[in-house]
Structure 1
Amino acid sequence: MWLLLAVVLVQLYYAAYYFLPFAHRPPEPATGPDDEPVSVLVCAHNELENLRRLLPLILQQDYPAGFELVLIDDRSDDDTYLYVQQLTQYYPHVRLVSVARTPDGLSPKKYALTLGIKSARYERLLFTDADCIPATNQWIRYMQRGFNRPADMVLGYSAYAEEPGFLNKLIRFETLLTGAQYLSFAWRGQPYMGVGRNLAYTQPVFYQTKGFASHIRSLSGDDDLLVQDAVQQQARVAVAAEPGAHTLSEPAHTWGEWWRQKRRHLSAGRQYRLADRIRIGTFIGANLLYYCMAIGLLFSRPDWVPLATVCLVRTGAILAVYYQLGRRLEERLPVAWLPFLDAVYFFYYLALGISLFLYRTLRWK
């Protein structure tokens, strides 16, 4: 019981120090300086249908200082090239970078992104993926405003579209909890990752970290490992968590697809700084220990009153914090589902960790 109480106190510390203050922080101003042009980069591999949806929404962005749209066609064999070429005839600020092949042993996406970054005209760079869309036509404005804090790198939030079914609820819960971690940690001055679906940084930061050189052969990590390297170089990191700064992505539709996606994402964690691994591992480990010990005590001969009290306090406090985070990030999950999603998520995370330890081969599209 004392150990159970200790892990609950650890969880309440994360909730009280990181999550709740972040959820209640004042909203970002609706107006601000927009005096620097930006290069918006999208890397695509056989994503024609997604690009037909995404690119018009980017071109409709309201950003007074102006922007260019750099589409990186990474070895596509659909009609991506023809579609973007047609756009360049009507929109002079749309540019196409074509990648015919990737050198052996290098991550295809990182190599393609490097070519796109080198061709970008502006110092500020804003990234999203082809299967995303900006939540509003103020997306560029909100993300670029993060540089005025001042900062060299801006972390945004990317939600997943709501669909029927339990898998979709679990994906959105995992996205909310992951976003709460990396955004609130960065807000507290401890940045450790971002997501390539909604990330901005400057060209000087990219070159100071030597780009993706330290992990160019790893399939994952074009976002979080770059943040790791940038922080090592004393880069200043800001957070843009207003709903207008969000992007929205298509979720995985099968358990297998999501399993492979999460394996790729988690595989980069082995290269995080020790302090970050300890901080994240403590949070994940405390939640896993809580469930394992609570189940163990339930089937032993417990003193029911202390056990029920600890579990009720923990569940009520954590769910209240998750609800506040959902409101802050506009991730509206059914409150009645949160206890079940919380339990399933942490055991799913444990299974992913075991899988990565036993089988390290990753798949890429």
Structure 2
Amino acid sequence: MILTIPEISILSALLLCLLIQLYYVLFVHLKLARVRVEEIPEIAKSPLSVIICARNEIANLEKYLPSILNQNYPDFDVVVVNDRSWDGTEEFLEQLEKQYDRLKVVKILDNDKFIAGKKFAVTMGIKAAKHDWLVFTDADCIPESDNWLMDMQQPADENVEIVLGFSPYLKKRSLLNALIRFETFFTAVNYLSFALKGMPYMGVGRNMAYKKSLFFKNKGFAAHMHIPSGDDDLFVNAHANKYNTEIRINKESHVWSEPNSNWAGYLRQKKRHFGAGKFYKAKHKFILSLQIIAQFLFYAVFAGCMFFSNETLYIATGILGFSILIRSLIYPKLLNRLNYRDLRWWFPILDILLFFFLTLNGLLSMFGKKKVNWK
């Protein structure tokens, strides 16, 4: 079999993309597949505060807040920041405050002088918290178990200032839901694996924790207050390192969240995330961009091989098959570990759809008006 120079070139490009892809799979993500899942501690070592920000979330607060207030933890308070809600949230929280001594409600009023985003609400919640160790979640979230706080508490090592948890999305019957959950899975595998590798670059505010002292020592969100999103990932990106960050992936400490139910809402959400990502540290932007580009080009170059000889296509198909085989040996275990076991049968299809979607969304995010949204 003799290949032409163009055929050798396109197969070389495909092989290069495969090698980059395998670096992330075998030298980064495999760490998360192999790491031992720690047992939930049986003893609470120190008090903590839970921070929840809400804007017109009465339905979710009624549904999910009691599960947080009734956590199996001896000493904690829950700070709910009611940010200018008009849907009955204020009245509901006033009633609940009478039932739970540990609940504290912070109310933000309308102010014509500035547009208060979620970072302002989070800052007000942190200021009102009684304790140094802060655990964050959202109003539309529910912990997997009553032991969530027991696992997210301050680690024994006082040098640890940040703990990154995982928050899967609830399952619905739709292609959008499958894509959202797979994208969340891939994002979590990335940030949790890189944290294990000693390069933490982001966290998710639906389930994470850090010290109040760390927040104020670094002047809170001052460095990126002008950016609408990033109250979670930009803070972690700026202040996490291999010495002060740990992860928690025990299934009992997962926090489930309500997913977007329409494409428009999901696209807006990803646009916000894309906007925050532009402010990551340079090294983090490089490793994430390389990953996305290599994955996209892998499929694009493979498609290009279809316009060459049968021999070229056979070799390209073999490379594609090898890629799927390697990842199929690792990602199903991770899907099970992160509560997404049902997606393992759809893995190859969702993998292709996701990266084309992320690439398209990245291009779309470069255009259009920039609007400050609360969330």
After superposition, residues 16-55 of structure 1 pair within 5 angstroms as 16-55=26-65
- Where does 1:1-365 land on structure 2 (aligned, <5 Å)? 1-64=11-74, 66-102=75-111, 104-144=113-153, 146=155, 148=157, 150-231=159-240, 236-302=244-310, 303-362=312-371, 364=373
Give yes or no for contact 1:264–1:362 (8 Å, CA) kept in 2.
no
Contact in 2 for aligned 1:205/1:235 (Cα 8 Å): no
TM-score, normalisation: structure 2: 0.93
C-alpha displacement of 1:328: 1.5
Code of the residue aligned with 2:202 in structure 1: it is M
**Uncovered stretches (5+) of structure 1, i.e. residues with no partner:** none
Q: Residue type of the partner of 1:109?
A: K
SS in 1 for 2:314: helix
Partner-residue secondary structure (3-state), 1:158: coil
In the alignment, the residues of structure 2 paired with residue 107 and residue 158 of structure 1 have an alpha-carbon distance, to the nearest angstrom, of 26
In the alignment, is the contact (CA less than 8 A) between 1:107 and 1:219 conserved in 2? no
Report the Cα distance in structure 2 between the residues aligned to 1:152 and 1:334, rounded to whole angstroms: 33
Could you say if the C-alpha distance between residues 58 and 174 of structure 1 is closer, same or farther in structure 2, counting changes exceeding 3 Å? same
Write the deviation string for residues 141-168 of structure 1: whole angstroms up to 9, x where unpaired.
1111546474101111110001101111
Question: Which secondary structure state, in structure 2, belongs to the residue aligned with residue 334 of structure 1?
Answer: helix
Deviations 1:149-206 (A, max 9, x none): 7410111111000110111111110000000001110111101100111111111110
| SS class of match (2:278) | helix
- Whole-Å Cα distance in 2 between the matches of residues 89 and 351 of structure 1? 49
**Letter of the 1:261 counterpart:** Q
TM-score (norm 1): 0.95
- For 2:198, what is the secondary structure of its paired residue? coil
Distance 1:277 1:264, change over 3 A: same
How big is the shift at 1:353? 0.9
Q: CA deviation at 1:304?
A: 3.2
Amino acid at match of 1:79: G
Cα deviation for residue 30 of structure 1 reads 3.1
Whether the 8 Å CA contact 2:40–2:147 is kept in 1: the answer is no
Asked whether the 8 Å contact 1:105–1:217 carries over to 2, the reply is no
Counterpart of 2:19 in 1: which secondary structure? helix
Distance in 1 of aligned mates of 2:56 and 2:321: 49
Compared with structure 1, are the counterparts of its residues 224 and 363 closer, same or farther at alpha carbon in structure 2 (3 Å cutoff)?
A: same
Of all paired residues, the percent bearing the same amino acid is 36
Q: Read off the aligned partner of 2:373 and give its amino acid letter.
A: W
SS at match of 2:105: strand
Which one-letter code corresponds to 2:108 in the other structure?
Answer: V
Deviation at 1:336, TM superposition (A): 3.1
Contact 2:159 2:243 in 1 (8 A): no
Decide whether the 8 Å contact of 2:40 with 2:150 is kept in 1.
no
